[in-house]
Structure 1
Amino acid sequence: MEDKFRKIIAKMQEADSIVIGASNGLSISEGIHIFADNAAFLENFGDFREKYGFRSIIQGCFYPFPSEAEKWAFFSRMYNYFLYKQEASSVMKNLYELVKDKNFFVVTSNIDDHFRQAGFPSDRLFEIEGNGRNLQCTIGCHDQIYPGDEILSEMVTKQVDGKIPADLIPTCPECGGPMQVHLEVDRNFLKGEAWQNSFQAYQDFIDNAHRKKIVILEFGVGARNQLIKAPLMNLTNQEEYATYITFNRGNELYIPDAITAKSIGIDGNIAEILERLVQMK
C-alpha cells in the first residue's frame, strides 16, 4: 500500500490539473450516511421515521410531506445535521490540504455542501444535484438561488411536533409561490444560471486539461455511478496523459480493463487514507 501511496503523491506533484470526483462514500467516511437507517438517523430523525415511515435521510428528501410546515421541519433538521454550527470534518480538511496548492476542480453529487465548508472555492466546485443550504422557487419562475442558512437555522430552533410555525414558511419573493431546498429531488430542480455557470466552469477546466497531465481523484463513487464515475473513466480513456485514482471499499472499487494501465485502485477507509497521504505530501 505504501508504494501505491508514493505513486499517488508523485502523480499529483507532476499533474497539470486534478479533477476530484466525489459521491456518497466520501460522506460516509465523515460519518454522514444519507442512505442508512442507523443510530445517527434515529437520533436526529427518529420522530420523522416514526410518523412517516421513511428510513433514511434520502427517503425523507423524496417524501411527499402533507404540509409545507412538515416539509420544512424535515429539511431544516437535515440542514442542521449537515452544517449548522459545525466546522469541516478532518476528512474534508485533509482532502483540501492535499490539493489546495494544485490546479483542481471538484465535481460531486453530495448534497451536504462540505466541500465549501472545508474551504474549497465555489468557482472550483460543481455540485450536480445541489446542496441542502440553498433555496429556490418551486415552480422556477426565475433563476435565482437563495442562501437558506438564516431561515433554516431559525426553523430548527422553533419547530414543534415536527412542524415549523406558519410565519417561517418561505415563499418566492417574485411569484409568492412555494419554495424548496435546491436539491434534485424532483423535476422542479432548478438548473438555472448558477448551475449552468458551474457546469460550464467544469467543462472549461476539462477542456483546458486536454493533452496535459491530468490526475483524477475519485472518492466513494459507486461502481455503477453514471453521473460521475462513467464520465471520469471515459475522460481517462480519452486522455493520453491521464491517471485515474479511485478510493473505495470492496466491490465498489471498480476499474474497467480499458483503463487499468492508467489506474490506481485503493481499497480502504477513505478517512485513514487521506490522513496518510497528507502526511506523505
Structure 2
Amino acid sequence: MNMLWKTKKSSPSSQKILRLKQALQTADAVIIGAGAGLSASAGFVYDGKRFQTYFSDFEAKYGFHDMYSGGFYPYATLEEHWAYWSRYIYINRYMDAPKPVYNDLYQLIRKKDYFILTTNVDHCFQKAGFSKKRLFYTQGDYGLFQCRRPCCQETFDNKEIIEKMTARQQGMKIPSDLIPVCPRCGRPMIMNLRSDDTFAEDDGWQKACSRYSAFIRCHTGMKLLFLELGVGYNTPGIIKYPFWQMTAENPKARYVCINNTDIFCPKEIEHQALCIRQDIGEVLSSLRTLPSDI
C-alpha cells in the first residue's frame, strides 16, 4: 500500500512526486482546498513589479506600496475609492493569470470526481475550465457587488460597470455617475467579499454550500484525497482544520499540503499525510510530466 509521509525538506524528491501522482490516480474522489498561495503561484501577486505596473500613480500620490494596502486606504471621495477598486478588480478578476497553474491543475483532475472549496475570489478556477457546480467560493467574488447594508441577500454582476470605470477614470477618479448604488434601496454598493456580518450569502452561495455538503456526505468512508493548495492561517477554520479532521476520521483518506510556507500537519495524521514545501506551479508541472500509466 502506498503511504504518504510528512516531510520538512525544502523541495520534493521525484519519489514524493510519484507518491502524489499515485494518490491522485487511486483516489475515489479529490477534494481541493485552495487559498491565496495558489493564485500567487499563478502570478496574481499584489506587490513588486505587478503593483508598480498598474498602480504607480496611486503609490506616488497616496504613499502605499502594495495592492492590499491600497484597498484599505481612506480615500476622501467615492470617486477616488472606485477608481482604485475598479482597476484592482479589473486586473485581478477579469484579466487572466500570468502563469498556467490553474490550467495544469485542471488537466490533472478533470477526469476525477472532484470538488473545490476555496477562499479565493478571483474566478481563476472557472476561467481554467472547472465546473461551477463543483466550486464553493466561501468568501465571495471580485466580480460581484452587493448592497452595503445589505438590504437584501442579492449580488450583482459588475463586469460592465468595472470596464466603464477603468476606461473613463482620469486623475485617479471615476465620473460621479458611475458610482455604484444598490438597485433595490439606492444605498452605496460594495464588493461581495466577506469581511464582517454584512456579507451577502446570495442564492448562488447557498446552492454551492449545499453541493459541497452533499459531496462530503456522499463520499463518507471512501478513498478521498484532501489536496490543500496555498492555504495559510488567516482563516484555517474554513479549509485546513476541517481537512485535518476529515482525514483523521477516515483511515482511507490522504491529506496532501503544497505551499511555500505553512507546511504542517498534526501528529495524528502524519501516516496519512504528505507535506511539500515548494511552489505549487512547479509541483503541478512536474506531476504532468510523469507518464499517465504510473
Q: For each residue in 1:206-262, what CA deviation from the matched residue of structure 2 results, as whole angstroms up to 9, or x when unmatched?
A: 11110001101111112573332111111111122110011012x521122111100
CA gap of 1:61–1:186, structure 2 versus 1, over 3 A, is farther
**1:236–1:242 Cα contact (<8 Å) kept:** yes
The normalised TM-score by structure 2 is 0.88
Residue 247 of structure 2 corresponds to residue 236 of structure 1: yes
Q: Which has the higher contact order (CA 8 A, sep 6+)?
A: 2
In 2, distance between residues paired with 1:150 and 1:231? 37
Which residue pairs with 1:126 in the alignment? 136
How many percent identity over aligned positions? 35
Q: Say whether the 8 Å CA contact 2:145–2:189 is kept in structure 1.
A: yes
State the aligned residue count. 278
Which of 11, 25, 30 is equivalent to 1:18? 30
Structure 2 counterparts to residues 1-281 of structure 1, below 5 A: 1-34=13-46, 37-86=47-96, 89-222=99-232, 225-249=236-260, 251-280=261-290, 281=292
Q: Spell out, residue by residue over 1:47-73, the C-alpha distance to the aligned partner (whole angstroms, 9 max, x if none).
A: 323333443322333344332222221
Q: Which 5+ residue runs of structure 2 have no aligned equivalent?
A: 1-12
Partner of 2:4: none
* 8 Å CA contact 1:62, 1:185 repeated in 2: no
Question: Compared with structure 1, are the counterparts of its residues 190 and 51 closer, same or farther at alpha carbon in structure 2 (3 Å cutoff)?
Answer: farther
Q: What code does the residue aligned with 1:240 have?
A: P
Shift of 1:89: 3.7
Over aligned residues, Cα RMSD in angstroms?
1.9
Q: Secondary structure at the match of 2:271?
A: helix
CA distance in 1 between counterparts of 2:69 and 2:95 reads 25
More helix by share: 1
Q: CA separation in 2, counterparts of 1:65 and 1:199?
A: 35
How far apart in 2 are the matches of 1:279 and 1:183?
Answer: 37
Q: CA deviation at 1:107?
A: 1.0
What is the TM-score when the length of structure 1 is the normalising length? Answer: 0.92
